[in-house]
Structure 1
Amino acid sequence: MLSVPRHYKRAQALCHRDGVRDTPTLDRCVPGCGNIIRADEHAAQLRECAEFLDKRAAFAARPIGDRFRANAARLRDLADTHDRTRITLEDAT
């Protein structure tokens, strides 16, 4: 099932807080921005990255491993949020 992307709204863009640019700036992207667009493929990639981090955590020193696991959990939360809040083609009609 494909997600329907939302349209970019400059007023909501957290990356535009400097008021200089007129286009989105990916290097200033903020995860909580109202303009974020994720497709189902992106959610799957987030989960794959989380799995990779968990595997690395198993072989890392405890503080680093804990950080890897925390980042993996954050990525899974983002993917889960996408799954719960996505707008599908069926929803849009």
Structure 2
Amino acid sequence: MGEGSLDGLAMFVGRSHSFAVRAAEYPGLNPNSIYFTDHWLLTSPRSPVDSAYGGHDIGIFDYKNKTIYPCYYPIDVQSFKRIMPALLWFTPIPSPHPCFSN
């Protein structure tokens, strides 16, 4: 693996678990990128739930260019609010997969 590269992997990091896949096997994924979600949800025991901090961070870090891009699909970024419960990543099935062939 060269410097500035994740060897074509798309990595997923979050509260539930983390994993990596070869981006070339999944159309729409960005190679050499880290997809991340907010893993913190901080509240005071006496604070109402609406005052909790966290659940805002979701994005894609381009490892090669060292830049972060928003990942708010399908929500309009202007109306983005805290996500409850915390986001989870689901592991995709590569295409084509024998279970889905004709």
Structure with bigger helix share is 1
Which structure shows the higher strand fraction? 2
Same fold (TM over 0.5): no
| TM-score, normalising length: structure 2 | 0.27
More relative contact order, 1 or 2 (CA 8 Å, 6+ apart): 1
